[in-house]
Each structure stands twice: as structure tokens, then as C-alpha cells.
Amino acid sequence: MHRTLLDLGFFQIHSYGFFLALSFALGIWISGIRAERRGIPGERITDLALVIVLATVIGARGLFVIAHWSAFEGRLLDVFRTWEGGLTMYGGAVPATILGMWFLNRWGIDAWKAADAVAPSMALGLGLTRIGCFLSGCCFGIPTDLPWGCVFPDDSHAGHLFPDTPLHPAQLYAAGIGLLLFVGLLLIDRRGLPRGHLFLLFLGLYAIARFFLDMVRVYDETAFPVGWTLNQWISLAVLLGVGGKVLWDLGIRRAETARS
């Protein structure tokens, strides 16, 4: 575990913050190229990125803090220490998606077409930021006897809760999922899916993966004490929403075909 990649005394680069910034930088660059190929001005993707970055960081941190409020009582300034980890993916993705589509419609840009352009970058961002999670020692898994179990240092949260105990490297599982989705979406995009369905495919596949990933994740008791984890409930809602949207689109296409 390497929480700090560079330490000059007066200046530090934290692992999580570095990979978070890298994911946004690469994501904006790739999304801009893909958007222009779809006839969307690249500068609008840059404007959209500012909205997405702010909504993602604020929303992801906000949901994490709400779910782990007891850990922040008496240490309110720690709420702003996002570079050390502690972001909940769905907390950022949901408001970022809603705000992003609202701004795109306001600018007169096809929101679903833009979402298809951005989808692979979102998957890449998931893959990169989870590497930062692993190096920072957050978002770790439950104890395991598997040969690839990782023992975290005693000064980490994982090592404090599970000293000298091999844990599932849940962060690396998530990183692998994100990177596989990134490559897979780029390949599938060549087949020419209906407008908006590449983005829906990303949401659906990630929801399924996240549901099962949470089975090996460790959560504080304050995270969500009823049944499944909060992320599993959200994954189920996302999957139902994606399925409903796909069925709606299929119904419209069949109606148009019947009329023609």
C-alpha cells in the first residue's frame, strides 16, 4: 500500500487523488474525440466535463459521508479530504448523469448520443480510481483464504480492522471490471448499437458486476444495515431502469416499423 506517490515535504501527491485526476483527464480527452466523431463539438464535452467532475466529487463524497456519518462526527473538516479516498461511485454517477443530460438538452445536443460518447470513459475512470483505492487501502474486501489475498499494513484502515489477515483485493476486482468494460464498450461500439444503448449497456453491466462485487466488500455497520448493501439496492434499481428503457425503445421501434 502506498498512500503517497510523491512526498517533498511541502508538497504531496496522494495515490487516490492522482488516479482520480488521471481518470478525469483521460476521460475528457477520449470523450472529446468520440463526441466529435458523432458530430458533437468537442468544446461542449469540455464544458460537460466540468459539470460531471463537480457533480461526481460532491455527490460521491456526500453519499459516503452520509453512509458513514459516525466516522466524521467531531471531525467535520475531514469531509473535504477527498484525495485520501472515500467516494461512493453511485453517489457521484447519478447526479452527474442527471445534471449532464439536463445541460446537454439545454445546449441543444442529443443527450443520449453524448452519453454513448462518454460511456467508455466512465468505465476507464472506474478502473483507474480503484487502483488508487487499492494503494490507499480503502474499499477493501472481506477475509479470504485464496492465494491472492492481500495483507494491508497496520496503519491502514484495513490493517487496523483485520491485522495480519489476507483480504479480498476488492479494489483490484473493481479496477479489472472497469478496464474490461472500457475495452469491451469500445469494441461493441463498432457494431453500431441504437442511440443511447452503449451507455445503457455500460450501466447494466456495471450494476450486475457491482451487485456481486459487494458480496466480498467490507462495509461499516453504519453503511446500510438493512438486507443488501446500499450499492446493491441501487444496482438493482439501475438494472430495472435500464431494462425498462430498452423495452421502451424496442416498443417505439416496433411501432414505427408497423406504421411504415
Q: What is the model's pTM? A: 0.82
Residue with the three cell numbers 470513459: 121
Q: Per-residue pLDDT for 116 more than 90?
A: yes
Instruction: Give the bridge partners for 4, in sequence order.
Output: 14
Give the model's pLDDT for residue 230: 78
207-223 mean pLDDT? 82
- Set of cell numbers at residue 95: 447526479
Q: Per-residue pLDDT for 78 more than 80?
A: no
Give the model's pLDDT for residue 155: 78
- Set of cell numbers at residue 134: 487499492
Give the model's pLDDT for residue 131: 92
Domain ranges of the chain: 4-259
Average pLDDT, the chain: 83
Q: Per-residue pLDDT for 85 more than 70?
A: no
64-76 mean pLDDT? 59
Alpha-carbon distance 259 to 13, whole Å? 60
Alpha-carbon distance 206 to 239, whole Å? 9
Among residues 47, 80, 52, 75, the alpha carbon closest in space to that of 64 is found at 80
Alpha-carbon distance 231 to 92, whole Å? 12
Q: Per-residue pLDDT for 26 more than 90?
A: yes
Q: What digits encode the pLDDT tens for the residues 2-11?
A: 777 766 776 7
Residue with the three cell numbers 483505492: 133
Query: Quick one: DSSP state of residue 158?
Result: H
